[in-house]
Amino acid sequence: MSFLFGNRSSKTFKPKKNIPEGSHQYELLKHAEATLGSGNLRMAVMLPEGEDLNEWVAVNTVDFFNQINMLYGTITDFCTEDSCPVMSAGPKYEYHWADGTNIKKPIKCSAPKYIDYLMTWVQDQLDDETLFPSKIGVPFPKNFMSVAKTILKRLFRVYAHIYHQHFDSVMQLQEEAHLNTSFKHFIFFVQEFNLIDRKELAPLQELIEKLTTKDR
């Protein structure tokens, strides 16, 4: 399933992934939103008592996908084949796309193309009921955590690209508080459950230290 940049004015880059109302995962999402409202992000990311870790990671992964989808959606006008001919996060980090199925050998492509591949791939994983079961009592697969880690590792690259290449545009749009809060939440979450290797976070290491030291 591929989505090209149809309506530039729409706020999300891809269709939002909804968690079905009335489901246990929906209740967990509401819990996450309520704790986030308290302003204590360290507390907000912790596994609620008695809950399943896989389910908590699944709900939050969907939420981060939706957040990044919206954040990237606000700057698609500035992230073009011309402005971003490679997918990078500053001069030292360049990403090439491969998904292991359709594209096995990593390809060099523009940032908008890479992010389209990436978000389409993530959406396909989230829509796969065998990977992200939404029905109560359906177990998560044994490889769930490794799939979730790959998704989060790749979503991080979108944050890294936005910060390195488009932060001026974000500030022009007065979205920086939104971006910083979203990224801080994301980092606290992946740190809490050790979901992304430290070396993968290197492009934003200074920012991560700045955002997280205040809350130790």
How far apart are alpha carbons 72 and 79 in whole angstroms? Answer: 9
- The distance from CA 203 to its chain's CA centroid, rounded to whole angstroms, is 16
Sign of the dihedral defined by the CA atoms of residues 177, 211, 56, 148, in that order:
positive
- Residue 98: both structure tokens together: 């491969």
* Binding-site annotation: residue ranges: 79, 84, 161, 166
d(CA 184, CA 13) in angstroms, rounded, equals 21
Estimate the share of the chain in helix, then strand, then coil, as percent rounded to the nearest 5.
55, 5, 40
Binding residues for Zn(2+): 79, 84, 161, 166
